[in-house]
Amino acid sequence: MNIRILLVFSALLPTVVGNVYAAHYTLPENSTDTVITEYPDDMPLSRSEKDETLLDVARRYSLGQTEILRLNPELDRWNVKKGEIVRISNKHILPDSPHDGITLNISEYRMYYYPPAVAGQPRQIMSYAHGVGRQDWKTPLGKTSVAKKVKDPSWHPPESIRKEHAALGDPLPEIVPPGPHNPLGAYALYLNLPGDYRIHGTDIDKIFGIGMQITHGCVRMYPENVEELYNLVAVGTPVYIVKQPIKVGWLDNVLYIEAHPDLEGEELSSAERYGLAMELIQKANNQVMPDINQAALDEALKNLTGDPIAIFERIAMPTDELLTSNPTDPLDTVAPVNQGMPINANDATALKPPVNQMMPMQAPGKKSLIKKPSYPADNYYSPRNHSNSL
């Protein structure tokens, strides 16, 4: 697939938190589009200004370790040379959940926060990398809310965690006071769930665990990210915790799919992954299976990079033709603007049609292909009773 490349230098990036680029997005103008884009090209790249680790680059761009390793499989995570080019994330498909409060998609180790709408301004989204629960300490799924916020929290490790650490020769005290070695970090948002599940920061020794299955069930964030979130989110904000390894969404009449590796202990077979993808594609297309680009779909499901890949394009009729068409002539019948045709994976221009570009339909008279995202109940389950997780 031919993709134009934009080299993003730090001087060109407008939104910075300290020396960390905040992942802030604007919702698409079309309310049915669910693909968000941070930079004005498909594949932004960063040039390292000094010798560093790949994980240093990940933190600078609010990416997690798993995410940046998938994007740069050829690079040494511990040794990125000055001047070396690193691929960073750009597009994301929003999870299938309400655009309200916080959504945590544990399958992609990524959070989406929807600040309250401001009249007369485009709706904003903030997105952050985070760590999630290990295979034996799963992060619970479901709808909850922020119960309370605590700055400089103390940690009271439960007996189960103290026994685990003692067995590894790393005994824990009954109370870990605030400070640089507190696993909760400097900020914690407690969730309204059985047990002390939190969205919290991290101690200085575990920063590179962001974007991995590494916690005892809590959601762990970079220090600068959790500080920003803490100052923005009010008590009572809804929180949706979902598990969506495959997402499908529209942007400017192009349908994208985004596929992530499975969580440990929850692996799908190739057939199961393909079946899930086809179900989501059909759902996004008003229960009508479009003539997708099969090679592009296979690439997405094989590589599991987490990057949205275009698999279908729909072509709409020009506005002037809509106004002049004669509905009494069956050959001139105006088709809905949602009908489509498959994209050409080798045509870079086909993957990014200009916004609002209108073109004649090839097969008039079919149903609308747009379906507004729903909120499937099968993405959730009741959390098991576990206390004082982190």
Let me know whether 123 and 108 are in one domain.
yes
Residues 159-170, mean pLDDT to the nearest whole number: 66
Answer with the one of 189, 219, 242 that is the final residue of a domain. Answer: 242
Q: Which two tokens stand for residue 315?
A: 């072509």
Let me know whether 173 and 298 are in one domain.
no
Let me know whether 227 and 257 are in one domain.
no
Q: Which two tokens stand for residue 377?
A: 């109940």
Q: Which of 24, 216, 218, 386 is catalytic?
A: 218
In a domain, 385, yes or no: no
Kindly report which listed range (188-192, 207-211, 348-352) carries the lowest average pLDDT score.
348-352
Q: What is residue 202's predicted lDDT score, i.e. its pLDDT?
A: 87
Let me know whether 210 and 326 are in one domain.
no
Let me know whether 236 and 252 are in one domain.
no
pLDDT digits (tens, 9 = 90+) for 25-34: 999 989 899 9
CATH of the domain at 71: 2.40.440.10
In a domain, 268, yes or no: yes
Amino acid at 266: E
Is a pLDDT exceeding 80 seen at residue 178? no
In a domain, 112, yes or no: yes
Task: Provide the 8-state DSSP code for 12.
Answer: G
Domain count, the chain: 2
What predicted TM-score, i.e. pTM, was given to this entire model? Answer: 0.74
In a domain, 356, yes or no: no
Is a pLDDT exceeding 80 seen at residue 195? no
Let me know whether 210 and 275 are in one domain.
no
Is a pLDDT exceeding 70 seen at residue 329? no
Answer with the one of 185, 208, 242 that is the final residue of a domain. Answer: 242
In a domain, 379, yes or no: no
Residue by residue, DSSP assigns 86-108 as: EE---EEEPPSS-SSEEEEETTT
Cα gap 336→315, rounded to integer Å: 10
Q: What is residue 318's predicted lDDT score, i.e. its pLDDT?
A: 59
Let me know whether 273 and 189 are in one domain.
no
Let me know whether 174 and 314 are in one domain.
no
In a domain, 359, yes or no: no
Let me know whether 217 and 252 are in one domain.
no
| C-alpha 390: how far from chain center | 22
Q: Which domain holds residue 156?
A: 5-242
Q: What is residue 304's predicted lDDT score, i.e. its pLDDT?
A: 93
Residues 24-45, mean pLDDT to the nearest whole number: 84
> Cβ contacts of residue 246 below 8 Å, gap of 6+?
257, 258, 259, 260, 273, 276, 277, 280, 301
In a domain, 82, yes or no: yes
Q: Which two tokens stand for residue 93?
A: 């498909």
Let me know whether 26 and 81 are in one domain.
yes
Let me know whether 272 and 286 are in one domain.
yes
For the chain, percent of residues with pLDDT exceeding 70: 67
Answer with the one of 191, 225, 242 that is the final residue of a domain. Answer: 242
Q: Which of 24, 92, 130, 200 is catalytic?
A: 200
Let me know whether 202 and 261 are in one domain.
no
Please say if 218 is a catalytic residue.
Answer: yes
* Residue 81: exposure state from Cβ atoms within 10 A (0-12, 13-18, ≥19): exposed
In a domain, 358, yes or no: no
Please say if 260 is a catalytic residue.
Answer: no
